[in-house]
A = this chain, B = another copy of it.
Amino acid sequence: MTNNLIRKAIVIAALTLSGCGAVINTADDSNTVKADTPLRATGDMGVVIERATGQVLIVNHTNQQALAQISGLGDLSHASIVYSRDQRYAYVFGRDGGLTKIDILKDKIAKRIMQSGNSIGGAISQDGKLVAVSNYTPGGVKVFDAETLELVADIKASELLCKPKNKDGSTKRSKVVGLVDAPNHRFVFSLFDSDEIWIADFSKPKYQLTKFTDIGRAPYDALISPDGRYYIAGLFGEDGMALLDLWNVDQGVKRILKDYGKGSKKLPVYKMPHLEGWAMAGDFAYVPAVGLHKVLIINTKTWQQVGAIDVHGQPVFVMVQPDNRQVWVNFAFPRNDTVQIIDTMSQSLIQTLKPGKGVLHMEFTPRGEHVWMSVRDDGKIQIYDTQTKELLNEIDAASPSGIFFTNRAHQIGL
């Protein structure tokens, strides 16, 4: 749903990839390489979404270079990526229901299917065997074999009996949002129209669903804590959030942060913040306020707000460095030319950067020495030193948005 609120400023940036390899789309399906292929370990690689042109860039974050560009991925607005457990394959979830498996050793599309009419994100199971996609149309979650992309399970969302039927006469089903993987081969997701959170447990051959109803009105996005324990859904239809403790599912879903949301807003909401951006460091979560120029500080023991930091605009992503020492914040249009940095020890703002127009996403290198930023309207990825804040390098990219490094393969919920 967040995407509907974005003020789109589509810029068809000129494609000027210096030193970038050509698109490889051969029919070579062998698992061996040709002579003189450069050897490539996958620990320092990544994929960047080029949203306006339906392309992605394969990048290397040691050499800070684009290695290749892949075309033909469809509508990549709001696209996201997960990685196979060996880091060889990037699964790209497109807005148009496309699911594309990219081979980042061969720089080509390994498989591509259209799995629905309209989708909003995906996840990969703990063991890497299953890839799940959350869909708006038809509402539900489809689960695929990660190797073959064959359908393994089609989990249909709740029927909306009071809504007008679909054109084909079938009953509408709830949109599904906030899909994440959780430990023990589970997927967790939220049903926007039916106010539910479901757990799909794939640890046994036949999967099992656990459903929580009346969790709060219109969950629009969700996150899972880095240890896979807490699943938290944001609510579009009311203030507050819904918390499910996956170590204590018998306790059901609780309502937390009852003032969180649009109720107290002073400004028009340009973009609902991304919940995946919640930065959890020590006992605190740093959370984008909705419609306010503030980052909220939440105590994760009590789930109460304990503070707020005034920032430059409406925050979108609030991301913590791997060492938990600094939190980086980007902002919604029209203030999306700025990034601010919060020190987590003093819980105060320490620096403001002006990378350029349309800072859409940030990604830290695995141990946090650098941060990469997509600067969409300038057609650039910028790379900063997180300690000195020095701009180290720029890489040309066509309307870059999400940046996804391969170390995500090893993290719960990413």
Which A residues fall within an 8 A CB radius of B? 31-39, 41-45, 60, 62, 83-88, 104-106, 126-128, 183-185, 203, 227-229, 247, 281, 322-325, 345, 365-369, 387, 406-407, 409-412
What distance in Å separates the Cβ of A196 from its nearest Cβ neighbour in chain B?
Answer: 24
Partner of A128 from B62, B84, B128, B324 at Cβ < 8 Å: B62
What distance in Å separates the Cβ of A375 from its nearest Cβ neighbour in chain B?
Answer: 23
What is the oligomeric copy number? Answer: 2
Cβ–Cβ < 8 Å partners of A345 in chain B: 247
Cβ–Cβ < 8 Å partners of A39 in chain B: 31-33, 88, 105-106
Residue of B nearest to A345 (CB): B247
Asked if A126 and B368 make an inter-chain contact with CB atoms under 8 angstroms apart, the answer reads yes
Asked if A38 and B32 make an inter-chain contact with CB atoms under 8 angstroms apart, the answer reads yes
What distance in Å separates the Cβ of A114 from its nearest Cβ neighbour in chain B?
Answer: 26
Partner of A367 from B38, B203, B411 at Cβ < 8 Å: B411
Report the Cα distance A161→B84, complex, angstroms.
Answer: 56
* 6 A/B residue pairs, CB under 8 Å, sorted by A: A43-B87, A62-B85, A85-B367, A183-B325, A184-B369, A247-B325
Residue of B nearest to A103 (CB): B39
What distance in Å separates the Cβ of A78 from its nearest Cβ neighbour in chain B?
Answer: 25
Given A32-B38, A45-B86, A183-B367, 18 new contacts (CB under 8 A): A31-B39, A32-B36, A33-B36, A34-B35, A41-B41, A41-B42, A41-B87, A41-B88, A41-B104, A42-B86, A43-B88, A44-B87, A126-B368, A127-B369, A184-B369, A247-B325, A366-B411, A367-B412
Partner of A86 from B44, B185, B367 at Cβ < 8 Å: B44
Partner of A412 from B323, B387, B409 at Cβ < 8 Å: B323
Asked if B366 and A409 make an inter-chain contact with CB atoms under 8 angstroms apart, the answer reads yes
Of A325, A367, A412, chain B has the most CB atoms within 10 Å of the CB of A367
Residue of B nearest to A343 (CB): B247
Partner of A369 from B83, B84, B185, B407 at Cβ < 8 Å: B185
Residue of B nearest to A182 (CB): B323
Report the Cα distance A367→B413, complex, angstroms.
Answer: 10
Cβ–Cβ < 8 Å partners of A387 in chain B: 184-185, 203
Cβ–Cβ < 8 Å partners of A367 in chain B: 85, 126-127, 183, 410-412
Report the Cα distance A41→B87, complex, angstroms.
Answer: 6
What distance in Å separates the Cβ of A231 from its nearest Cβ neighbour in chain B?
Answer: 13
Report the Cα distance A166→B40, complex, angstroms.
Answer: 47
What distance in Å separates the Cβ of A241 from its nearest Cβ neighbour in chain B?
Answer: 21
- Given known pairs A32-B35, A33-B33, A38-B31, the reply for A126 and B43 (CB within 8 Å) is no
Partner of A409 from B43, B247, B323 at Cβ < 8 Å: B43
Cβ–Cβ < 8 Å partners of A60 in chain B: 86
